[in-house]
Structures are given as C-alpha cells and as structure tokens.
Structure 1
Amino acid sequence: MKFKLVASDLDGTLLSSAGEVSVRSRAALAGVQAAGGVVVLITGRPSRMVLPLAKDLGLSGHVICSNGAAIHRLPGGEPEDLRTLSPEVLRRAVPALRSACPDLGLALEWGSGMQAETAYRAAPDSVSDVLEVLDAGHPVLKVMARSARLSPAQLTELINARCGDELHASLSGAPFAEIAARGVHKSAALARLCAGLGIRAGEVLAFGDAPNDLPLLSWAGCGVAVANAVPEVLALAAEVTLSNDEDGVAAVLERLLVAGKIGSGS
C-alpha cells in the first residue's frame, strides 16, 4: 500500500526553529506531489499565515488551519469548511472561566485577523473584553488564552474541565492554550477532507510534535514524530525521525519516495 496523502504540522515539525522550510524539505514535498501524492499543511496557525506559505511551496490541494477549524482550497485559498465558535457559547463560557481564573487574557482569531484583550497582549488595538466585539460578525475559529498564574497546560486542563461540553482546549507548544469548538481538532478535519478525496486513514502519513498532534498521529495510517516532539507524542508515534532542525520530515519522505511507497495508485 502507498501513502496517498502526507499531512504535516508546521511549527516544531516542518518548520525549523528559525521558522523556515529548508531547501531539502521543499524538494521532498515537491517529490511527493510529483509522485501523485497529496500534501496537506495542518496547523494551529490561521489561514493568513498558512496560505502564503503554501503558495511559496507550490502546493496544490488543501490546507487545514486553526487546529482543524478551517479547511481552505488551494491555490486560491477559498474556505471550504469552517467550524466556528458561536457567540452564544463564548458568552456562556468566558464568564465561567474568568471566575475560575481572574487574570485570564483572551484573543479571538479568525482567518484574516484577530482581536486581543489587554490582559492577553498590551497593544494599542487591544480591548478590555473580547465579548464586546463578538457582534462584529467575525467567524471566530479559535480563542487563545493566557494567564500569569496558570501555565498553558494548567489552563488547558481548567478550560476542558469547566467548559468541555461546548469547548475543546489544546496545546501546540505556544505560550497559550488554544480553544476551539467541541469536536474540532486536526484529525477530525483531515478525516473529513480525506473522505471527500476518497483516501483512507491507512493511506495517510502524518507528522507532528505537540499535544495537539496526538489525535492526528493516532488517526493516520502512520504517525511520525520528530525527535524534538514532547514525550507523549514520542511515545504514541509509530516512528520517530530526526528533529525539525535536522529535516526530519524530509528524511522520511525521501526514504519512502525512493521505495515507491508514496504517490497515487496501489
């Protein structure tokens, strides 16, 4: 069986510590496409950051952004599937979270922009309460949460404990917790995309490094961790490759391409 689709996380996985895609990694991704395989960037980053990178890499097909809340078609970047956080849910959840964590700072994110609170980021355009801007009509895909008192991991645990019926918080390695609608995560989005493409989970090769990649690596036919991944990801992965700074993704792709195990066909 060949892997027909390669899904890779960005930060800490495909991207180097300098935030770049190396020449070697670019060549490996191009090789996957030349063999008839599909490359999907799958990340917590918003589309405004991912679409320019996909264009620069010459990718076709789709990208999955905001931890699975958005699927965009390439090359134009049109949104095909958005799983937004409803204002009603946020108006219920935010006060409950503030009562449990008084120094909570939030930022709303949608594909083309974001709005932060002063408690999240002191900036001229920050507001005192993001709930005040919900009526602006932005399709909120993700909420980022910070606390000086709680670590991102502790904050993630608190959010899931208090609001897990309606929200899902996860960790990407960034210095904040990331909140999405319940049921929204990378593997759910990739499963929907693959169903539309006629690709089975066993035909998917996935790469990751952080806790928010765990469902993705579990779902894929082969989940690969880079050497710099967190212990939970290293323990779960079917294979551990070199680190992101050593072109770990490219190393696996090169080996499988030579073996004829990536591409279209059976």
Structure 2
Amino acid sequence: MMNPDIRLLALDLDNTLLNSKKIISEENKRMLVQCEKAGIHVVTASGRFFHSQIDFTDQLNPEVQNNWHVCNGGAGIYTGHSLLWRENCFAADVFQVLLKQIRRTSLFYFVDTVSMVYYENASTETASRTAKQVLKKPYVQRAAHIENIDHPVRIIFYCRNEEEVTAARLIHTNGAVSYDGGDKIVEIAPKSLNKAQALAKVCAHYDVSFKQVVAIGDDENDLQLLKTAGIGIAMPNSSNVLIKNADIIGPCDCDHDGVAEIIKRYILPR
C-alpha cells in the first residue's frame, strides 16, 4: 500500500537520480512510472542549467516530462521544453561586489541567467575539464562586459582542485550565499534563492502541501529542500551536512538504483 499522505516526489539529479556516469538507470525510470500511476507527481529539482536539465527529463516518461520542474538551483521552473518562471536575480550592488572579488583571483567562472550562461575570461587556461565541456554548449556565450548582463541569478565555479574550491567559498558579501554543489562545483546565489522556494510554487500548482512532499538529494544545495519537505531523504553518498539534517538515509547509493530502492521501501511499499 502507498503512503496516502505522499503526493509529490522531488528529486535532485546529479548523484541522486543520475548515477556517477550521469545515467538514469532503467530501474529508476520504472519506479518513477509507478509513482505517477499511483497519483504521485514526480518532479526534478536540480542545480543544472535549464537546457542541461531538459536533456535528462526528456529521458523520462511523458507524464514526468510535462510536470513542472525546478531548474538552475531554484531560479527557474519549466515544463516540457518551456520555461514558465524565473526570478531571484542578484541585487545590482551585490553582483558588482562579487565580480570585484572574483576578478582578484584566477578562478574561471560562469554567470547564469536561466535562459543563457555567460563567461568573461578571454583565456580558458584556468578552466577545469568540466568547465571546458560547458563552454561547448550552445547556450553558453562570452560576455566582454559581464557586469552589464540582465538577470544574473547565480555565479558558478567548476573548480580544478580543492584549493580553488576553498578560494571560491571565500568570495562573499551580504545578500549572497555560497553552496557546495558537489564534484568541485561552487555556486554563489542570492540569499533568497534555493530549490525549496521554487518548489513552493510547484506545490501550489499541484495543490500539494510541503507535508505531502518527499524530497531526495545528496548535497548542500539540497539542504533547504530536505528540511522543508514532509520527508527529507539523503542518499548514502550525500555530504555530511545533508546526512545530519535528513529524516531518512537511503539504503543504496546512486550507482545501485538508490532512488528506486527508496521508492520501494518508503513511498510505494507493498
């Protein structure tokens, strides 16, 4: 029997629904279909860029594809291939202070506007391997005057090593907060921006309360999501901060159908 109080399942992507090879397993896909059949809305809530996240939701069944999904760490909501909503950009003065600090370092960074991603550096010498892959995407462009772009919602660093992670985490000002995105990724966002505040709009759309939500994640940028949901579940491969704040620790990691096993054990038990 299904837990009758659960009406929405919110899933992080990387190292949660996706395995370490960035693949959604067939068993995970199968169990998401079972959730939808049981009347549970399945949505993703990721820090990935809008266009990147679509590549993964397109792999799911049509019902899930057309649900409302949280993208860009909570800065956007989309359905299918259509962006429905975006907000929570940096205050202009906060953005300028952050840029000034970043320009004192050699860190390679991107500025996210939800619909596009920009970078400033003319040289890619200091870009990590992951950053160089991002540079190939059609929605990524160089901006010679990045301080003038409209609607900046996040600054993202794909770091080469732990020293760069530490340097990126030192960049701060009032009105902004930094997150560990895992895989040597550091995000800086407005303090008002997180996955939970965007998911509140998704819940309102489906007439679901947060008490009826199960959220599953693995890293610091999932913290507010897990704390706000009725049941917050951390993957066993999660960061320490998430494990300490989760209601439940999942039985299997992302490489062993972890989401599917959580669904079987806690959401759709026989």
Question: Structures share a fold, TM > 0.5?
Answer: yes
Q: Percent identity?
A: 24
Equivalent residues in 2 for 1:104-115, closer than 5 Å? 104-115=107-118
**Matches of 2:267 and 2:219, distance apart in 1:** 26
Q: Which amino acid aligns with 2:257?
A: D
Number of the residue aligned with 2:215: 206
Number of the residue aligned with 1:264: none
1:142 counterpart (132, 143, 154): 154
2:178 counterpart (169, 172, 183): 169
Give yes or no for contact 2:176–2:191 (8 Å, CA) kept in 1.
yes
1:165-222, Cα deviation, whole Å (9 max, x unpaired): 2222111103231112221011121123213432111100011111111111111111
Alignment CA distance shift 1:106-1:85 (3 Å): same
Instruction: Determine if the alignment matches structure 1 residue 17 to structure 2 residue 20.
Output: yes
**Matches of 1:233 and 1:32, distance apart in 2:** 24
Instruction: Determine if the alignment matches structure 1 residue 155 to structure 2 residue 177.
Output: no
Number of the residue aligned with 1:132: 145
Give yes or no for contact 1:91–1:131 (8 Å, CA) kept in 2.
no
Q: Which amino acid aligns with 1:247?
A: D
**Matches of 1:50 and 1:93, distance apart in 2:** 26
TM-score, normalised to structure 2, is 0.82
Q: Structure 2, unaligned stretches of length 5 or more? A: 137-141
Give yes or no for contact 1:87–1:134 (8 Å, CA) kept in 2.
no
Q: Which amino acid aligns with 1:171?
A: D
Aligned length: 249
TM-score, normalised to structure 1, is 0.83
Instruction: Determine if the alignment matches structure 1 residue 189 to structure 2 residue 198.
Output: yes
Alignment CA distance shift 1:171-1:130 (3 Å): farther
Alignment CA distance shift 1:148-1:95 (3 Å): farther
**Matches of 1:147 and 1:182, distance apart in 2:** 26
Aligned-residue offset at 1:153: 4.7
CA RMSD across the alignment: 2.6
Alignment CA distance shift 1:258-1:67 (3 Å): closer
Aligned-residue offset at 1:80: 2.0
Give yes or no for contact 1:107–1:130 (8 Å, CA) kept in 2.
no
**Matches of 2:110 and 2:267, distance apart in 1:** 41
Instruction: Determine if the alignment matches structure 1 residue 65 to structure 2 residue 71.
Output: yes
Alignment CA distance shift 1:149-1:7 (3 Å): closer
Give yes or no for contact 2:86–2:114 (8 Å, CA) kept in 1.
no
